[in-house]
Structure 1
């Protein structure tokens, strides 16, 4: 068998950036800049409702579409148009995102995973078959309902080594969400409002499980451009990346030819960097989300936003949204290397654009 071809690391980075619609062109197949098309291309919009700057799904959409959409577009799509739906993906090396907005049109791809989740048992679920039925009956009679209005009639309390102990309603809802039995009808602030999936999601077919898994891998690789086999299975073709070890998989349609970059301010959970090992191997970027790190030990801030410049990750913005004052406040910009005037101006412009999109003004305390 022939040795896979080797590509330069810079080419791999450009393929990854372009696949994530973060190059200057931002183009999709067909040239659409529609939110639904973006979500389908990316396969999901990450849900992290931490609102230090803005929720992750909104940030990911803005960084691809900018002012082509408004700040309420994602919520309208999910709650009114129901073009994506909120779902908990089965945790796996392939998908580091637990909660995501998934295109409703892709339901046939995910129904086998839902069926598998529904079939999985466990001691706590077995003990709470009655609780499950009572919860569903309450939703059928009175839903949609926020979690706080759903009765905790658990037959056996949920126990864990972490903070989920005693969160009986939450844990049952999350199991039923993953199984496709209940769905999130809307969010009231940060609180999810629940209903039966049959009243929220459209009926439809399910693909064969193996066929669906292979298609999910192909689409995931298309959205990443290049990835390790652990993330995308046998999708694409094998390649080696200069300066790294072991095989990668490359989307056969991906190319870095004619690449033109741009400056973008990313969400901490953006798919370009969500798989931290891939981020380190391709971009040599030192970064961690420090939201849960004690303040005295933080290097870049609780919710620092990575800065993309072309095919390089070059810094982090320590920012937060001050809604009372109507301002996006930047405490500091942490540069990985001294920026030139072009880069400083581009980052300033991107932050100004973000502040305007959020409906406020930019306040910078320290440009770094």
Structure 2
């Protein structure tokens, strides 16, 4: 793009933003803490879903110091439901690094920001431009799509060569002044007008700069590889119960939902699933019921003991539900078992909790669903 076209492009972007920019709670100030928090929350999550979490999170942790001093369990509990929990753990680690290494002040330069846990190129550019008005480029889902259409890019946008081209294009466009407004304007144009499906080209201020509009390629760009096929799998969860106490384990760093509390849970094969006790629904209840005194098959007993240290006793009740995570469709069956005859020694990271304590624990969405079932079973 020629220099004169770049000037006209920037003017058009900022004029549109002044009239149509979204009013969002994290845009009410240039506080780098609030901007950083919002950008991390918005990764893989919609704006509508993030707003209530952002407001609760900032009410409890109004600044980086309060977040750094918090217990990680409380951070995870407040994050519960947003998913991708490594984001919450990295938020906690990064806040501690800002306090210990930067005297509680966020650095303004992209390179320094990228040394903090969980902050990559895009997030660093967002903080640098939004909070400090540095001329830092950004490429995220909305701007990636917008840039690809402006360039009429016919290659897979996720390919390394395409990413290099898009970042170079973004860096050439970002202005020296009002860089933050410029970047947020492009995100808003991408979200509100340059939509993945049915883009509103007639309302777009960048129409005359847009390659796909001029060539009529809106439905063909951006190009992406076909989505990975969904894989069905089965899981078994085993809840050991001792009156109103329940046995949970803290998931390890190598597991999904690392650092969260969970019940004994493991993937099972279709052959193993076929050997589980027969259960049936009672009326319209979502719970499933097994004959009293029914025992789990040996594979389930052994896998449960390997996780929590105890062998489960007889089955008391059961339930099942399905959920999706990344590229998997999971059918989960849960057996609540008596701990009266449980044998063994508790593994490290395994602990008894009362029914009243469960709401305070950081659990995955599926773990919370099991905990809620235990309250009403």
TM range, normalised to the smaller chain?
under 0.3
State the TM-score, normalizing by the size of structure 1: 0.23
Structure number with larger C-alpha Rg: 2
Question: Is the helix fraction higher in 1 or 2?
Answer: 2
